[in-house]
Amino acid sequence: MENRILVTGGAGFIGHHFILQLLKKTNWHITSLDRLDVSGNLNRLSEVLNQFPNSYRRRLKIVFHDLKAEINKIISKNLGNFDYIVHMAASSHVDRSISDPLSFVYDNVVGTCNILNFAKNQKKLKKFVYFSTDEVFGPAPKKVKYKEMDRYNSTNPYSASKAGGEELAVAYANTYKMPVVITHTMNVFGERQHPEKFIPLCIRKILNNQIIDVHSDSKKKKPGSRYYIHAEDVANGCLFILVNNFEKKFPSDFGGAKIIKFNLVGPSEKSNLDVVKNIARVLKKKPKFRLVDFHSSRPGHDLRYALDGSLLKKLGWYPRLTFEKRIEQVVNWTVSNKNWFKI
């Protein structure tokens, strides 16, 4: 009998890339749970399904629900039982979290509690994956890359709310013996990303000969940096975690349940200015940019994030394509798909 998987936020940017890989690489039956807000867009899933024969469409079911509310008996019956649950639904914009912190607590903490309550009553659940972020660790000093079990240091309400959801997942593993896995990933980019994000924003501004503000230090000399990762790599990494059983490789934490955490990390560290120049190279244009002291003028934004991806690499997973190859792929797709990106 085929596995059944529930993906929260399946119509979101990362969620729809994950569903695409599930359709390509498994025969599983997929349910997407989504409320379709700022980031959710069913057109993403429509384009994904159009890549497959009609028989594949029957493998995907979409259920509408806002996780700020509990999953009641009617919705629970509609959803059914699952072998896997991947909780990707979240509010994720730092600026909005700074102006409206409570909404992020509702979405990322209360919402996580509600899906965990649903999951703990599943009879055959093999894994519950909580999709967290590098930002729970806070800014990374030079040469430091945070490992999975390092301490938290949230610097904005968004990262604090994700850390709160993460701790709830740990608590449910310890209290209810749920099979919880936690992932941290970094700045994700790819096809069908919201145009407010840095890479699609850069593509638009370079094409329109506009000036790009590049996040830098207070002296306006050193740009911020990230381990940018393509959404397809994130999706493949998440699937790798689902289909492999690593429990025996990890000791129990603090004498309780086994809390397994993985960092999903891009192939190499790139400064924000590197990103701009790589996009301009693909577009064959000269970019206009200025280094701006976001670190001081935008509280809650950090100059550098860095994760250590060695654990998953030892187990056999890492991004196979370079950042340069991935950015070329995304830029060319974006220019050819103006319905997703108004130029």
Predicted local confidence at residue 195, as pLDDT: 86
Query: Is 150 annotated in the active site?
Result: no
Predicted local confidence at residue 238, as pLDDT: 98
Report how far Cα 164 is from the mean position of its chain's Cα atoms: 16
pLDDT at 20 over 50: yes
Predicted local confidence at residue 254, as pLDDT: 46
| Sequence-ordered list of residues with C-beta below 8 angstroms from that of 70, at least 6 positions apart, any chain | 114, 117
Predicted local confidence at residue 86, as pLDDT: 98
Query: Is 106 annotated in the active site?
Result: no
Q: Given the structure tokens 């749970």, which residue do they identify?
A: 33
Predicted local confidence at residue 79, as pLDDT: 96
Predicted local confidence at residue 204, as pLDDT: 93
Q: Are 114 and 70 in contact (CB under 8 A)?
A: yes
Query: Is 172 annotated in the active site?
Result: no
Do the domains at 4-189+227-264 and 198-225+269-303+323-336 have one common CATH topology?
no
- Per the residue annotation, which of 83, 134, 148, 166 is the catalytic one? 134
Predicted local confidence at residue 300, as pLDDT: 56
Pairing of strands 270-271, 225-226: antiparallel
- Per the residue annotation, which of 84, 146, 158, 172 is the catalytic one? 158
Where in the chain are the domains?
Answer: 4-189+227-264, 198-225+269-303+323-336
The residues with which 214 forms a beta bridge, in sequence order, are 291
pLDDT at 147 over 50: yes
Angle between helices 111-119 and 157-176 (to 10 degrees): 20
Q: Are 167 and 151 in contact (CB under 8 A)?
A: no
| Sequence-ordered list of residues with C-beta below 8 angstroms from that of 308, at least 6 positions apart, any chain | 145, 146, 147, 148, 263, 265
How close are the terminal C-alpha atoms of the chain, in Å? 47
Question: Could you tell me the pLDDT band of residue 75, with boundaries at 50, 70 and 90?
Answer: very high
Closest C-alpha among 129, 117, 43, 23 to residue 79:
117
Question: Which CATH class name applies to 198-225+269-303+323-336?
Answer: alpha beta
- Per the residue annotation, which of 83, 135, 269, 274 is the catalytic one? 135
Q: Are 235 and 20 in contact (CB under 8 A)?
A: yes
pLDDT at 84 over 80: yes
pTM here?
0.93
DSSP character string of 196-261: TSHHHHHHHHHHTTPEEEEEB-TTS-SB-EE--EEHHHHHHHHHHHHHS--GGGSPPSTTSS--EE
Predicted local confidence at residue 218, as pLDDT: 82
Q: How many helices (H) and strands (E) does the chain have?
A: 14, 13
Predicted local confidence at residue 220, as pLDDT: 86
For the chain, how many residues are written? 343
pLDDT at 247 over 80: no
What is the share, in percent, of the chain residues with pLDDT greater than 70?
Answer: 92
Report how far Cα 10 is from the mean position of its chain's Cα atoms: 11
Question: Within 10 A of 306 (CB to CB), how many other CB atoms are there?
Answer: 22
pLDDT in tens, 297-316: 556 567 889 999 999 999 99
Domain 4-189+227-264 fold is Rossmann fold (3.40.50)
Mean pLDDT over residues 115-140, rounded? 96
